[in-house]
Structure 1
Amino acid sequence: MFPFAKQFSLRRTPQSEPIPRTVPNAAGGHAFPVDDWTRLARFLVLGSEGGSFYAGERALTRDNAAAVLRCLAADGARAVAAIVAVSEGGRAPKPDPAIFALALAAGAESLETRRAALAALPRVCRTGTHLFQFAASVEASRGWGRSLRRAVGRWYLDRPVDAAAFQAVKVRNRAGWTHRDLLRLAHPETDEPARKALFDWICRGTLAAEAPALVHAFAAAQAPGLDPEGAAALVRAHRLPWEALPTGLLASRVVNEALLEGMPVGALVRQLGRLTAAGVVAPFSPGTAHVVAVLSDRERLLKARLHPMALLVALKTYASGRGVLGRLAWEPVAAVVEALNAAFYTAFRAVEPTGRRLVLALDVSGSMASGRVAGSGLTPREAAAAMALVTAATEERWQVVGFTGGEAGLTPLPLGPSLRLDAAVAATAGLPFGSTDCALPMRWALARGIQADAFVVYTDSETWAGPVHPVQALREYREKTGIPAKLVVVGLVSNGFSIADPDDAGMLDVVGFDAAAPAVIADFLRA
Structure 2
Amino acid sequence: MSRDPLAAIAAAATPQSRPIPGREAEMVRNNAGGHTFAKDLWRTLEDFLVLGTAGGTYYVGEQTHTFQNVQVVNGAVAADGQRAVALAVEVSTGRPPRAPRNHPALFLLATAITNGDLETRRAARTALPQVARTTFHQANFFGYWKALHGKATGNGTAPKTGRVARGALGDLLTSQPPDRVAFQACKAAARKTPQGEPFSLRDVLRIAHPKAESPQRRALFGWIAGNVDDAEARQLLPSVDAFLTAKAVTSAAEAVGVVTGRGVPWEFLPDAVLTEPEVWDALIDTVGMTALIRNLARMTRIGTLTPMGEATRRAAARLTDRDALAAGRIHPLDVYLALRVYASGCSRPNPKAPAQSWTPVPQIKDALEEAFDLSFGHIEPSGKRLLIAVDSSGSMSYGSMTASGSPLGTAYQVACAMATILARIERANAHVIDVDTVVHASRITPRTNLREIDTWRPSGGGTDLSLPFSHALAQRLEVDGVLVLTDNETWAGRIHPSQALASYRSGINPAARCVVASLTAAGHSIADPRDEGVLQIAGFDATLPQVVTGFLR
Q: Shorter-chain TM-score category?
A: over 0.9
Structure 1 residues 7-406: aligned runs within 5 Å? 7-19=8-20, 20=23, 21-89=26-94, 90-142=97-149, 143-172=160-189, 173-175=191-193, 176=197, 177-190=199-212, 192-204=214-226, 206-211=229-234, 212-223=237-248, 226-325=250-349, 326-348=354-376, 350-370=378-398, 373=401, 375=403, 377=407, 378-396=409-427, 397-405=429-437
Given that residues 269 and 314 in structure 1 are in contact (C-alpha distance below 8 angstroms), is that contact kept between their aligned partners in structure 2? yes
Q: Distance in 2 between matches of 1:245 and 1:278?
A: 16
Given that residues 185 and 200 in structure 2 are in contact (C-alpha distance below 8 angstroms), is that contact kept between their aligned partners in structure 1? no
Greater CA deviation, 84-93 or 510-519? 510-519
Q: Distance in 1 between matches of 2:358 and 2:497?
A: 47
Q: For residue 210 of structure 1, report the CA deviation from its aligned partner.
A: 2.9
Greater CA deviation, 346-355 or 24-33? 346-355
Q: Distance in 2 between matches of 1:192 and 1:422?
A: 54
1:118-154 deviations in whole A, cap 9, x for unaligned? 0111100011121121122123444311222122122
Q: For residue 379 of structure 1, report the CA deviation from its aligned partner.
A: 2.4
Would the alpha carbon gap of residues 391 and 75 (structure 1) be closer, same or farther in structure 2, given more than 3 Å must change? same
Structure 2, gaps ≥5 residues long: 150-159
The answer to whether residue 445 in structure 2 is matched with residue 416 in structure 1 is yes
Structure 1 residues 498-513: aligned runs within 5 Å? 498-513=525-540
1:432-469 deviations in whole A, cap 9, x for unaligned? 42111111222233333333332211111110011111
Would the alpha carbon gap of residues 272 and 306 (structure 1) be closer, same or farther in structure 2, given more than 3 Å must change? same
Given that residues 200 and 207 in structure 1 are in contact (C-alpha distance below 8 angstroms), is that contact kept between their aligned partners in structure 2? no
Q: For residue 97 of structure 1, report the CA deviation from its aligned partner.
A: 0.5
Q: For residue 287 of structure 1, report the CA deviation from its aligned partner.
A: 2.4
Would the alpha carbon gap of residues 482 and 46 (structure 1) be closer, same or farther in structure 2, given more than 3 Å must change? closer
3-state secondary structure, aligned to 2:347: coil
Q: Distance in 1 between matches of 2:357 and 2:116?
A: 50
Q: For residue 194 of structure 1, report the CA deviation from its aligned partner.
A: 4.1
Greater CA deviation, 313-322 or 265-274? 313-322
Would the alpha carbon gap of residues 504 and 425 (structure 1) be closer, same or farther in structure 2, given more than 3 Å must change? farther
Would the alpha carbon gap of residues 438 and 77 (structure 1) be closer, same or farther in structure 2, given more than 3 Å must change? same
Q: For residue 413 of structure 1, report the CA deviation from its aligned partner.
A: 1.5
Q: For residue 164 of structure 1, report the CA deviation from its aligned partner.
A: 1.5
3-state secondary structure, aligned to 2:419: helix
Q: For residue 260 of structure 1, report the CA deviation from its aligned partner.
A: 1.1
Q: For residue 349 of structure 1, report the CA deviation from its aligned partner.
A: 5.0
1:45-80 deviations in whole A, cap 9, x for unaligned? 100112112222222222212222322233322221
What number of residue pairs does the alignment pair up? 520
Name the amino acid aligned to 2:508.
T
Q: Distance in 1 between matches of 2:400 and 2:126?
A: 32
Given that residues 48 and 374 in structure 1 are in contact (C-alpha distance below 8 angstroms), is that contact kept between their aligned partners in structure 2? no
Would the alpha carbon gap of residues 322 and 58 (structure 1) be closer, same or farther in structure 2, given more than 3 Å must change? closer
3-state secondary structure, aligned to 1:115: helix
Name the amino acid aligned to 2:547.
V
3-state secondary structure, aligned to 1:426: coil
Given that residues 381 and 425 in structure 2 are in contact (C-alpha distance below 8 angstroms), is that contact kept between their aligned partners in structure 1? yes
3-state secondary structure, aligned to 1:23: strand
> 1:443 maps to which residue?
470
Greater CA deviation, 379-388 or 307-316? 379-388
> 1:458 maps to which residue?
485
3-state secondary structure, aligned to 1:261: coil
Would the alpha carbon gap of residues 86 and 126 (structure 1) be closer, same or farther in structure 2, given more than 3 Å must change? same
Q: Distance in 2 between matches of 1:482 and 1:193?
A: 69
Given that residues 233 and 241 in structure 2 are in contact (C-alpha distance below 8 angstroms), is that contact kept between their aligned partners in structure 1? no
Q: Distance in 1 between matches of 2:455 and 2:42?
A: 33
Identity of matched residues, %:
40
Greater CA deviation, 277-286 or 32-41? 277-286
3-state secondary structure, aligned to 1:208: helix
Q: For residue 398 of structure 1, report the CA deviation from its aligned partner.
A: 1.6
Greater CA deviation, 465-474 or 110-119? 465-474
Name the amino acid aligned to 1:170.
K
Given that residues 161 and 195 in structure 1 are in contact (C-alpha distance below 8 angstroms), is that contact kept between their aligned partners in structure 2? yes
Greater CA deviation, 304-313 or 451-460? 451-460
Structure 1, gaps ≥5 residues long: none
Greater CA deviation, 69-78 or 116-125? 69-78
Q: For residue 271 of structure 1, report the CA deviation from its aligned partner.
A: 0.9
1:321-360 deviations in whole A, cap 9, x for unaligned? 3334555433333332222112222222543311222221
Name the amino acid aligned to 1:229.
A
Q: For residue 4 of structure 1, report the CA deviation from its aligned partner.
A: 5.5
Q: For residue 370 of structure 1, report the CA deviation from its aligned partner.
A: 2.5
3-state secondary structure, aligned to 1:422: helix
3-state secondary structure, aligned to 1:400: strand
Given that residues 387 and 512 in structure 1 are in contact (C-alpha distance below 8 angstroms), is that contact kept between their aligned partners in structure 2? no
* Bigger relative CO (Cα 8 Å, ≥ 6 apart): 1
Query: What RMSD, in angstroms, separates the aligned Cα atoms of the two structures?
Result: 2.2
1:247-294 deviations in whole A, cap 9, x for unaligned? 232221221112111110111111112223344333443323322332
Q: Distance in 2 between matches of 1:374 and 1:514?
A: 16
Q: Distance in 1 between matches of 2:175 and 2:473?
A: 60
Name the amino acid aligned to 1:14.
P
